[in-house]
């Protein structure tokens, strides 16, 4: 058999590349040494706004709109279930932080963030009443 590509390593990167090449009609062979594999132990969490200062990750718009189409399509093709989008709640630590986010109208964040100023929906935050940010 003649292959168009040989991919070395079948973590998430090798798997996604292999799947993408197969969809393009190319013949591939994936080899894996069977050693350590981060993809098997990873939590698999994806979050477009991160860090202490809550900033948008690199190419967030492009990457997150891509993955929201790519993984469901892959699930269909493979008849498998592995994509579980869930909202993320990030509690505010203080009234200052709440004020900052309530008054921050940066449209660049609108796609990903909703400011929640009541903690009622989120029992995890019930002892503090600063609310928080909801992602997605
Ligand atoms: C504990 C933990 C939690 C994480 N949680 C998250 C998370 O929540 N969200 C997130 O986005 N990321 C997370 N990450 C990071 C994420 O897991 C990695 O960025 C991602 O899995 C890397 O994928 P990969 O395909 O590049 O590498 P890997 O998954 O490591 O795959 C590489 C593969 O290549 C094979 N290989 C290497 N060299 C050779 C060789 N010479 N010949 C043959 N085969 C070879 C290895 O056996 C392996 O199977 C986490 C990582 C860890 C360790």
Instruction: Give 127's pLDDT tier (boundaries 50, 70, 90).
Output: low
Instruction: Yes or no: say if 134 and 89 are a contact pair by the CB < 8 Å rule.
Output: yes
Instruction: Give 104's pLDDT tier (boundaries 50, 70, 90).
Output: confident
- Regarding the beta carbon of 42 and ligand 1, being less than 6 Å apart is answered yes
Convert the pLDDT of each residue in 56-94 to its tens digit. 889 999 999 999 999 999 999 999 999 999 888 888 888
Give the distance (Å) from ligand 1 centre to CA of residue 26.
24
> pTM to 2 decimals?
0.86
pLDDT at position 124, please?
58
The residues spanned by each domain of the chain are 1-34, 46-136
Please give the number of the atom of ligand 1 that sits closest to the Cα of 15: 25
**Cβ within 8 Å of residue 14, ≥6 positions away:** 7, 8, 30, 32
Q: What is the DSSP string of 61-118?
A: HHHHHHHHHHHHHHHHHHT--------EEEE-SSHHHHHHHHH---GGGTTTEEEE--
**DSSP code at position 38:** H
| CA distance linking residue 5 with residue 25, whole number of Å | 12
Give the distance (Å) from ligand 1 centre to CA of residue 12.
7
Q: What is the best residue among 18, 31, 38 to mutate for testing ligand 1's pocket, by most ligand atoms within 8 Å of CB?
A: 38
- Regarding the beta carbon of 45 and ligand 1, being less than 6 Å apart is answered yes
């Amino acid at each position: 058999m003649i292959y168009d590509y040989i991919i070395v390593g079948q973590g998430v990167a090798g798997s996604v590349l292999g799947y993408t090449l197969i969809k393009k009609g190319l013949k591939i062979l994936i080899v894996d040494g069977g050693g350590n594999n981060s993809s098997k132990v990873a939590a698999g969490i994806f979050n477009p706004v991160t860090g202490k200062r809550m900033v948008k990750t690199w190419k967030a718009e492009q990457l997150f709109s891509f993955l929201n189409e790519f993984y469901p399509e892959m699930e269909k093709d493979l008849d498998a279930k592995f994509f579980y989008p869930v909202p993320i709640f990030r509690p505010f630590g203080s009234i200052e932080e709440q004020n900052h986010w309530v008054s921050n109208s940066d449209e660049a964040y609108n796609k990903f963030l909703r400011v929640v100023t009541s903690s009622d929906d989120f029992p995890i935050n019930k002892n503090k009443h600063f609310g928080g940010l909801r992602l997605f």
